[in-house]
């Protein structure tokens, strides 16, 4: 193995050369001839200032990037050192923002804002966890995709925090407190991307002990999902795929035939230090309880007897003064979660306004053969990477919303009848930063009205989505779109807000609601081709090859046709 000191001595040279080369790919000569501005002499640049300049070139907030890296890295810095430098500074800003949350929460008066600040505290704690994970794993080049996903979660925490505070004054103060956190996290994503491109440009190996080594090969893949820690991988070596018939660790049954009569009781009994996949089987029945899978309960599989037989239900709602995040009937904070053959419902009705059935604030979460039933805000796909397959999702206003990376595949999307003065929107995606990795994808789904909406489907407006935040990103592809969807397809949020900066795309859809010739004329709307659509598949967007197949469910990581 190459000595670390030797690697460190010229890693900065390689870094400058490769990053400048990457930047040059999109920096063409004034003549337009496509010639790169990079010359071989750039490979000899070793000054730290040059390294910082090159690393910051792809970032949006360049001044903040320069302040972050100058003095924190030098000519002998390894890629792991650079990642730690980019992330360490964010942790300080998160602490400052948390302190501001404590100050402002004492000024909150309404129950919504009280809930909102409680949510902000939780999210900033989650941000600290994500940042700590990146710092701890910074030398592992196989996890660059994870790092970017976790940092995107940090940005989305800001979005979700602010959306929970109604007071304009308190919201403005919290927005200012979170500004640095957002910009630095956005920069860190770009910096990590540059480091990843370096490996590709120079065919280098990102090594745990020696930074980059010029070996011309990649480290062997362990074949396990990236969210499973090293110690757990050994324990899972003989049981990576968990079928629904797997012997459960706990059985829940309302009739007393199991070990527990409630899901919460089974979760409370789950060992804090359990290693491997923990399995809870919930027998048929309607369970009226609010469930929260906290972040310590990782790698949980919960399954039932079918989404119409095993149902978790609740009716908490915003109209009765409950913060949106706290209305969730079932909430998940822990990574590696799998739900199959179970139903999640919020029965507050359209008059309840925001009323969540399922909320996922978790990375590498899978929902299979489930139902998510509600009205407004049914499915809060909050943060992290999520894969939904062979499921039913129903609702009215913004009923699939959040700021995650989610692919919903082979599923039935049902629009219900809203209140008379409302318009239906399937999605409301919340990407609020240009570099953040986030987006909602509907692939090979069917978008249809329910029986109560059907007679009025042409008089009640129905749309594929509207932009919750400035860079809202949604793709509908290879899906059947019913005739209820208006010809323009998409609905504005407020005037011309986000219409130039959003990314809405359609590809190879079918059905009476699929023609795109009368779609909105926004700059951000696109009809994409096959090559472009590939980037929105589960294999690419979610890096699904690394974790989805291990859930033991049907899946497609590519396009269907």
- Mean of the per-residue pLDDT values of the chain: 85
Has 398 been annotated as catalytic?
A: yes
Is the pLDDT at 209 greater than 60? The verdict is: no
Q: Is 68 exposed, middle or buried (0-12, 13-18, 19+ CB in 10 A)?
A: buried
Say what the pLDDT of residue 273 is: 83
Say what the pLDDT of residue 201 is: 60
Spell 452-474 as b/e; 16+ CB within 10 A means b.
ebeeebeebbbbbbbbbbbbbbb
Distance (Å, whole) CA 488 – CA 486: 5
Per-residue pLDDT of 509-551, as tens digits, reads 999 999 999 999 999 999 999 999 999 999 999 999 999 998 8
Instruction: Specify the 3-state DSSP secondary structure of 197.
Output: helix
Say what the pLDDT of residue 55 is: 85
Per-residue pLDDT of 454-468, as tens digits, reads 999 999 999 999 999
DSSP readout, 396-420?
A: SEEEEEESSEEEEES-EEEEPP--T
Q: How confident is the model at residue 36 (pLDDT cuts 50, 70, 90)?
A: very low
Per-residue pLDDT of 363-419, as tens digits, reads 999 999 999 999 999 999 999 999 999 999 999 999 999 999 999 999 999 999 999
The greatest distance separating any two alpha carbons of the chain, rounded to the nearest whole angstrom, comes to: 78
Is the pLDDT at 49 greater than 90? The verdict is: no
Say what the pLDDT of residue 199 is: 58
Residue 133 sits at φ, ψ, to 5 deg, of -65, -40
The reported pTM is: 0.87
Cβ(364)–Cβ(384) under 8 Å? yes
Say what the pLDDT of residue 508 is: 98
Say what the pLDDT of residue 196 is: 76
Cβ(407)–Cβ(391) under 8 Å? no
Q: How confident is the model at residue 343 (pLDDT cuts 50, 70, 90)?
A: very high
Give the H or E element holding residue 303.
strand 300-304
Say what the pLDDT of residue 53 is: 84
Strands (E), 305-450: 310-314, 330-332, 338-340, 343-346, 358-361, 365-368, 371-373, 379-383, 385-389, 392-395, 397-402, 405-409, 412-415, 424-429, 439-443, 446-449
Q: How confident is the model over 203-218, as a mean pLDDT?
A: 36
Residue % of the chain over a pLDDT of 90: 74
Which whole-number Å values give the CA distances from 317 to 86, 323, 342, in the listed order?
40, 8, 22
Q: How confident is the model over 296-302, as a mean pLDDT?
A: 94
Instruction: Specify the 3-state DSSP secondary structure of 88.
Output: helix
β-bridge pairing 330-332 and 358-361: parallel
Q: How confident is the model at residue 50 (pLDDT cuts 50, 70, 90)?
A: low
β-bridge pairing 338-340 and 300-304: parallel
Nearest to 356 by CA among 372, 334, 367: 372
Catalytic residue (one of 140, 398, 403, 432):
398
Q: How confident is the model at residue 237 (pLDDT cuts 50, 70, 90)?
A: very low
Say what the pLDDT of residue 200 is: 61
Strands (E), 117-275: 205-207, 211-213, 250-252
Say what the pLDDT of residue 125 is: 93
Cβ(82)–Cβ(73) under 8 Å? yes
Say what the pLDDT of residue 243 is: 52
More confident of the two residues 504 and 28: 504
């Amino acid at each position: 193995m190459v000595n670390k000191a030797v690697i460190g001595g010229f890693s900065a040279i390689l870094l400058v050369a490769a990053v400048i080369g990457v930047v040059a790919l999109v920096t063409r000569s004034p003549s337009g001839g496509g010639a790169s501005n990079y010359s071989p002499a750039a490979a000899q640049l070793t000054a730290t200032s040059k390294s910082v300049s090159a690393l910051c070139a792809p970032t949006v907030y360049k001044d903040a990037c320069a302040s972050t890296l100058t003095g924190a890295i030098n000519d002998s810095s390894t890629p792991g050192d650079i990642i730690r430098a980019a992330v360490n500074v964010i942790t300080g800003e998160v602490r400052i923002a948390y302190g501001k949350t404590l100050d402002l929460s004492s000024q909150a008066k309404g129950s919504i804002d009280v809930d909102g600040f409680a949510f902000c505290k939780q999210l900033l704690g989650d941000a600290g966890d994500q940042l700590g994970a990146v710092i701890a794993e910074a030398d592992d080049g196989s996890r660059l995709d994870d790092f970017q996903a976790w940092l995107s979660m940090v940005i989305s925490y800001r979005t979700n925090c602010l959306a929970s505070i109604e007071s304009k004054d308190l919201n403005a103060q919290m927005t200012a407190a979170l500004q640095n956190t957002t910009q630095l996290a956005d920069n860190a994503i770009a910096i990590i991307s540059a480091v990843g491109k370096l490996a590709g440009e120079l065919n280098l190996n990102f090594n745990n002990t020696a930074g980059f080594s010029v070996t011309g090969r990649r480290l062997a893949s362990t074949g396990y999902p990236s969210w499973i820690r090293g110690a757990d991988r050994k324990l899972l070596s003989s049981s990576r795929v968990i079928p629904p018939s797997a012997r459960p660790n706990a059985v829940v049954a309302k009739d007393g035939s199991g070990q527990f009569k409630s899901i919460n009781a089974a979760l409370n009994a789950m060992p804090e230090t359990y290693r491997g996949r923990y399995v809870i089987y919930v027998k048929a029945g309607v369970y009226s309880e609010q469930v929260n899978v906290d972040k310590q309960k990782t790698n949980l599989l919960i399954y039932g007897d079918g989404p119409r037989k095993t149902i978790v239900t609740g009716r908490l709602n915003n109209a009765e003064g409950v913060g949106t995040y706290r209305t969730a009937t079932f909430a998940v904070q822990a990574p590696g979660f799998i739900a199959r053959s179970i139903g999640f419902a919020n029965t507050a009705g359209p008059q309840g306004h925001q009323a969540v059935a399922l909320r996922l604030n978790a990375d590498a979460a899978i929902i299979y053969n489930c139902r998510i039933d509600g009205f407004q805000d049914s499915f809060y796909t909050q943060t992290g990477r999520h894969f939904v397959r062979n499921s039913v999702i129903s609702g009215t206003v913004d009923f699939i919303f959040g700021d995650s990376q989610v692919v919903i595949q082979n599923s039935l999307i049902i629009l219900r009848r809203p209140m008379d003065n409302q318009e239906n929107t399937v999605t409301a995606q919340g990407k609020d930063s240009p570099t953040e990795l986030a987006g909602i994808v509907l692939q090979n789904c069917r978008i249809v009205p329910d029986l109560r909406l059907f007679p009025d489907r042409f008089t009640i407006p129905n749309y594929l989505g509207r932009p919750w935040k400035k860079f809202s990103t949604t793709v509908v592809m290879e899906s059947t779109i019913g005739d209820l969807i208006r010809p323009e397809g998409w609905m504005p949020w407020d005037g011309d807000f986000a219409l130039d900066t959003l990314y809405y795309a359609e590809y190879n859809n079918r059905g009476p609601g699929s023609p795109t010739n009368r779609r909105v004329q926004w700059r951000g709307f696109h009809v994409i081709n096959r090559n472009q659509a590939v980037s929105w598949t589960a294999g690419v967007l979610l890096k699904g090859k690394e974790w989805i197949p291990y859930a033991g469910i049907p899946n497609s990581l590519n396009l269907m046709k």
